[in-house]
Amino acid sequence: MKDRFLIIIVSIVSLLIGMLISFLLLNTDSSLVSLPKPEVTGGERGQLGIDKNINEETIDNYLNRSDSVYRDMRMLVDPGNYAAIGGDSYLSGIVQGFEVVPYPLLTKVKGLPKEVGDSYTGKTLFTQNEDGTYKANYKESLEYLEYYFPKDKYIFLMCGGGGYAGMTKNLLVSLGWDENKIYNVGGYWYYNGKNNVKIKKTINGKISYDFWKVNYHNIDFENLTEVANND
């Protein structure tokens, strides 16, 4: 009787172990390649914080990961004159899979080249203090960041030339995000990969933009709760 009972127990345990192994195998994305640790490149690109290993030349190898989110930090139309430095003030294209969350709506843009002039100067989620820290302007500001830049994911940032992406990483790290999970991929203007979604088009000499192709996340500040100065 004891032997029979022991056999039943062993069978049940074996079955449970088998089910657990099957579950783990089915729910593990074996296609994910390991990510190199973020490492800033050298030279002028390094001053923007662009990554040495994952950038415009290599990002195609890291798209469509279930453990990552992809964010382009440009506006659809930026008030800054980026054509003056060889770029485009219009969002002329994106890398497939990137959603657009405009950095100038997160906090005031600082440190642009003189040729570019001023970017957007309207309302922002955060204000940068003199000591480099950030103060929320709305009660929902941090919740917004946590939603579009989840802390449990790797975050790939891109923009036109790499500047807004670098600024975004600085903002997130200052507010408690793990810098080892955030990559400044660089700029779309220098991307020549296979996942180019072109927004700008020219027909009969007339330029137009298919902004409907862009997954663009605007911020409706009127529906946010402003933080009082004494809060």
Residue spans of the domains in the chain: they are 1-30, 43-223
| Higher per-residue confidence, 2 vs 127 | 127
Q: Give the pLDDT band (50/70/90) at residue 229.
A: confident
Mean pLDDT computed over 155-170? 97
The pair of structure tokens assigned to 172 is 């997130």
**Per-residue pLDDT, 11:** 55
Q: Provide the CB-side half-sphere exposure for 58 (13 A, CA).
A: 12
Mean pLDDT computed over 178-204? 97
**Per-residue pLDDT, 175:** 98
Whole-prediction pTM value?
A: 0.85
- Does 64 score more than 80 pLDDT? yes
Is there a contact between 227 and 139 (Cβ–Cβ < 8 Å)? yes
Mean pLDDT computed over 55-60? 97
Mean pLDDT computed over 167-180? 98
**Per-residue pLDDT, 80:** 96
Alpha helices in 109-225 (DSSP H): 141-148, 163-174
- Does 8 score more than 80 pLDDT? no
**Dihedral sign from CA coordinates of 82, 83, 85, 87:** positive
Mean pLDDT computed over 142-153? 98
What SS3 state is found at 83? helix
Q: What gap in Å lies between CA 182 and CA 160, rounded to an integer?
A: 17
Q: Is 97 exposed, middle or buried (0-12, 13-18, 19+ CB in 10 A)?
A: middle
- Does 7 score more than 60 pLDDT? no
Question: Tell me: domain 43-223, CATH 3.40.50.300, correct?
Answer: no
**Per-residue pLDDT, 137:** 98
Q: Give the pLDDT band (50/70/90) at residue 22.
A: very low
Q: Is 145 exposed, middle or buried (0-12, 13-18, 19+ CB in 10 A)?
A: buried
| Higher per-residue confidence, 24 vs 227 | 227
| Higher per-residue confidence, 26 vs 180 | 180
Q: Give the pLDDT band (50/70/90) at residue 81.
A: very high
What is the average pLDDT value for the chain, to the nearest integer? 90
Tell me the C-alpha to C-alpha distance, in Å, between residue 56 and each of 46, 83, 120, 161, 183. Answer: 14, 20, 26, 10, 11
